[in-house]
């Protein structure tokens, strides 16, 4: 169980797709958005139907949602926030599109 949990915590919604001397280009993994939306859907359905099993499933899904949205990618989210504040980031694509995924080009010092 501990090994599986560490794999979930290591899950990162961003990957480096391009790197040079001055910039890193990160791509947001679109499947991550759809995965978290599915978790929220399970939670919402568990609140609509009066079943102890569904409420338990909803509580578990909410805990999973917290782990997969708050922990992974924290370092890159911090870089994105810093680059946004300093207006040194380029952004393209969409968070929900598999054909045109969201990409960030960030200076290495950010």
* pLDDT tens-digit series, residues 38-87: 888 888 888 888 788 888 888 888 888 888 777 777 888 888 889 989 99
Give start and end residues of each alpha helix (H) in 17-106: 30-48, 52-70, 74-85
Tokens describing residue 44:
């919402």
pLDDT average, residue stretch 3-10: 44
Helix (H) or strand (E) holding 13, with range, is none
Confidence of residue 103 (pLDDT cuts 50, 70, 90): very high
Helix (H) or strand (E) holding 10, with range, is helix 2-10
Residue of 65 and 7 predicted with greater confidence: 65
What pairing do the DSSP bridges indicate for beta strands 103-107 and 23-28? Answer: antiparallel
Tokens describing residue 110:
């950010």
pLDDT average, residue stretch 8-31: 82
pLDDT at 3: 41
DSSP for residue 40? H
pTM to 2 decimals?
Answer: 0.72
The count of other CB atoms within 10 Å of the CB of residue 14 is 21
Looking at the predicted structure, is the pLDDT value of residue 2 above 50?
no
């Amino acid at each position: 169980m501990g090994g599986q949990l560490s794999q979930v915590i290591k899950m990162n919604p961003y990957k480096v797709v391009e790197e040079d001397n001055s910039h890193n280009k990160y791509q947001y993994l679109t499947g991550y958005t759809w995965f978290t939306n599915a978790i929220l859907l399970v939670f919402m359905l568990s609140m609509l139907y009066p079943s102890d099993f569904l409420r338990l499933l909803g509580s578990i899904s909410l805990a999973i949602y917290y782990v997969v949205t708050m922990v992974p990618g924290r370092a890159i989210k911090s870089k994105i926030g810093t680059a946004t504040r300093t207006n040194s980031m380029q952004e393209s694509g969409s968070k929900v599109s598999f054909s045109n995924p969201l990409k960030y080009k960030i200076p290495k010092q950010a």
